[in-house]
A and B are shown apart, each in its own frame.
Chain A
Amino acid sequence: MARSSTLNRDERLALALAVLGHGALLAVLVWQRPPAPLPPPERMMVTISDEVGLTSAAPEPMAQPAPDTGPVVGKEPPPPAPEPVPVAKPVPAPPRPAPAPVAKAPAKPAPPVKPVSTPKAAPAPPKTPPKTVTRPGSSAFDDAFNKGIPGAKSPGKAQTPPAQITGAVRSSLASEVARQLKRKWQGPNGLDVEKLATTVEWSLNPDGTLAGQPRVVSQTGITDDNRPQVKRHQEQAVKAVRLAAPFTTLPPQYYSAWKTLRFTFDWKINQ
């Protein structure tokens, strides 16, 4: 009371105005919220290829920096450390360059190094000899090969094409296949159909045509409401594969990577 009496009329008016103004602002803000639903961002195609992700880390370092020389087993793994794994599998590993479960990495960090890495061994550019010398398991023999084999050809994956299927290759193959399938894929209509996801597996001949019939390997998201569409969803997924075939744009040198395919189909409804 006493305090308010110290306010003169103008001040009181101003105070009232300010309160009113705030109130109005608040009302406007509250009011405006609902009518401004953000337009959902343009959908982009993302290929979630978990398996590829796992393998991709492993082969990559080999693929680019040290083609011929082979990775130095266990030595100074490149920054994305997780896989010094090659230990067990020497170098020019055939098609499957280490499905390396990343978890293994910490288990054997340095010690196992010794097992005399294959004749050739040379750390990629970044590595300097001094560094290697300090390594516990290093030897003059190792060092001798650190610079690579004299007669080795220039770096390039070309020499063993099928063997060099990197994660990057796999994911671009996958997105190429997905792109072709997407044009032919139309999910069924009905309640809750957006919850359904059908996984279809099929094999291809080297010319990109279907080898045998695509088959449904699994389906998730079945509810009582979408049960009538379950079969139709599978049917449409298989149809998409059959209509998209032949897959003629897949590079033949990677045939081993796209010989068998397993894709999951779903249909999201924008709302």
Chain B
Amino acid sequence: MKLTRILACLSLAALPAALLAQAAPQPEASASPAAGGEEVLTGTVSGEGEWQNQSIAIPAFATNADVPTQTSAGTTAALGFSLASVIYSDLRNNGLFKPTGPASLPRPALGQVQAPDYAPWQSRGTDMLLQGYVRGEADGNVTVGCYLYDVGLGQPLAKAGWTVPPGEWRRAAHKCADMAYSRLSGENPFFDSRIAYVAETGPKNRRMKRLAVMDSDGANHRYLTTGQTTALTPRYSPDYKKILYLSYYNGSPRIYVYDLERDRQDLLLQSKNPLFAPRWSPDGKWVLYSMAIAGNTDVYKMPAAGGNAVKLTDSPGIDIGGSFSPDGSRIVFESDRSGSQQVYVMNADGSGQKRISFFGGRSATPEWSPRGDQIAFTHIAGNFRIAIMDPGGGGLRYLTDSWQDEAPTWAPNGRVIQFFRTARGSGKTGVWQVDLTGKNERKLDTPVDGSDPAWGPLRP
């Protein structure tokens, strides 16, 4: 028992080191092949089969005193239950975990949060235990503590705590889910993020398209525009303060910047020529867009504060829809200069344009991953499928196989992609997401039909 505890401490201490170790692989790799020439029994253990979702128990968060809070969830005890429920749905929906929610688990006593009794959890057959506490502060804020334990080994894996204003209690839950997700998957967190999209209502030929935003799990949904003008292709600014989008006002296209802090929109660009696909540069200082002049569409770059635009492409065909690489040095875009839509890459100043998609069919709406290692795009060959490739154009991998999936956008950790799917016949659209293995696909619940999703970065 003592040993286990020591080991537990060691592995906790090794946590931050784990991240460093990725940069400098195999610190211990050169360890001796058994000291003293002793013979070593060697062998191989080959696991096989599908990934088995890790079972994780998420009981309601404990509290020191059940007092009223200003949160929408109610008292601290009710809030403890709601926190666990939010975490439960975050983890349930991404395909790595088999969570058990607070509804079917006993709530631990406050003392057990930091010193759990592993035996009952072991006998339940759960692998991991994610629990925490919630405490109401005098100033109205709530403090949430979050602890992850490995039940099999009987040791803590990670812990964290946050004090949040009452209106943002869900963020604490998302952060807790993020902590467990990134600790157990090795990936960067992404639950604590928001999504902008176009909410669609009305008949097929007179769709009303409104700009809307919501949390990554669909909560805190809010419409930003009234629908009197059509909103298209929103994009969050890297600092979450603004949303860039395209709007048609009396038939003439405009690029707006919606300021979320002041709740107003500023006109960035207006033109008689059709405009398309405005995008931020990773530092938020530039805006890319495409403009068609007499049938010749090219990609332009202009300062986000307004000013003179620079034309980046100059081919007679349609060049459209650039997306910056995360370091801002390159731009991926779509062009039909070869005869059909294909994906091209160029330097940020427009030099070195080079086609990278050679997959047959057409390739459209490229989007550079925030990790820089992949480019997501829509591959059109019969049906529309979401696919990824590396920035060199190799490693094509399909993620979806439906009738019409398009416009991929990346989760902040570059491991999940959102897109919108149009149903055959009805033309109804919905926002969907899929992970990079292509196995975990799910629909996001939106109040009305949704299209053109844009996933923002992790919230600051």
Contacts and interface: CB of A to CB of B under 8 A. Distances in A.
B417 to A, nearest CB: 13
B40 interface: yes
Contacts of B26: 216, 218-219
B291 to A, nearest CB: 36
Contacts of A114: none
A240 to B, nearest CB: 7
Interface stretch (B78-86, B162-170, B184-192, B200-208): B184-192
B308 interface: no
A191 B436 contact: yes
A134 B185 CA distance: 70
A261 B186 contact: no
A261 B25 contact: no
B18 A173 contact: no
A22 interface: no
A242 B185 CA distance: 20
B46 A218 contact: no
Given A189-B185, A224-B373, A228-B187, A95 B50 contact: no
B48 A267 contact: yes
Contacts of B40: 51, 201, 260-262
Question: Which one of A48, A189, A201, A242 has the greatest number of beta carbons of chain B within 10 Å?
Answer: A189
Interface stretch (A11-19, A84-92, A136-144, A175-183): A175-183
Contacts of A191: 436-437
Contacts of A186: 47, 52, 54
Contacts of A187: 47, 51
Contacts of B52: 186
Contacts of A230: 21-22, 25, 186
Question: Which one of B42, B49, B153 has the greatest number of beta carbons of chain A within 10 Å?
Answer: B42
Contacts of A258: 41
A128 B333 CA distance: 84
Contacts of B31: 201, 215, 217
B209 to A, nearest CB: 35
B10 interface: yes
A189 B184 CA distance: 9
Contacts of B96: 189
A256 interface: yes
A219 B29 CA distance: 8
A43 interface: yes
Contacts of B187: 190, 228
B41 A270 contact: no
A263 B42 contact: yes
Contacts of A190: 185-187, 437
B152 interface: yes
A270 B439 CA distance: 13
A269 interface: yes
A147 interface: no
B42 A174 contact: yes
Contacts of B48: 43, 267-270
A181 B45 CA distance: 7
A229 B185 contact: yes
B185 A268 contact: no
B38 A259 contact: yes
Interface string A183-213: 0111111110000000001000000000001
Given A173-B41, A189-B437, A232-B185, A219 B25 contact: yes
User: Looking at chain B's contact residues, is the secondary structure mostly helix, strand, loop, or mixed?
Assistant: loop
Interface in B10-55: 10-11, 18-19, 21-22, 25-26, 28-29, 31, 33-34, 38-52, 54
B336 interface: no
A195 B29 CA distance: 18
Contacts of B38: 259-260
A262 B41 contact: yes
Interface in B161-200: 184-188
Contact of A231 (B51, B186, B373, B436): B186
Interface string A249-271: 00000001111111111111110
A208 B44 CA distance: 19
Nearest to B18: A231
B390 to A, nearest CB: 9
A235 B127 CA distance: 14
B186 A232 contact: yes
B449 interface: no
Contacts of B22: 227-228, 230-231
Contacts of A239: 150, 152-153
B15 to A, nearest CB: 10
A178 B45 contact: yes
Contact of B43 (A177, A218, A219, A267): A177
A231 B21 contact: yes
A184 B150 CA distance: 14
Contact of B185 (A50, A218, A228, A260): A228
A265 B43 contact: no
A222 B373 contact: no
B7 interface: yes
Interface string B95-111: 01000000000000000
A180 B143 CA distance: 43
A268 B47 contact: yes
Contact of B47 (A185, A217, A256): A185
B47 A188 contact: no
B28 A264 contact: no
14 contacts: A178-B43, A182-B46, A189-B437, A201-B34, A215-B31, A219-B26, A230-B186, A232-B185, A239-B152, A263-B43, A264-B43, A267-B46, A269-B48, A270-B48
* 10 residue pairs, one from A and one from B, having the closest CB atoms: A174-B43, A228-B186, A267-B47, A189-B51, A232-B186, A229-B186, A231-B18, A181-B45, A260-B40, A261-B41
Interface of B: 7, 10-11, 18-19, 21-22, 25-26, 28-29, 31, 33-34, 38-52, 54, 96, 150, 152-153, 184-188, 373, 436-437
Given A225-B373, A232-B184, 13 more contacts: A182-B47, A187-B47, A189-B51, A189-B185, A190-B437, A219-B29, A232-B186, A262-B34, A264-B42, A264-B44, A266-B44, A266-B45, A267-B47
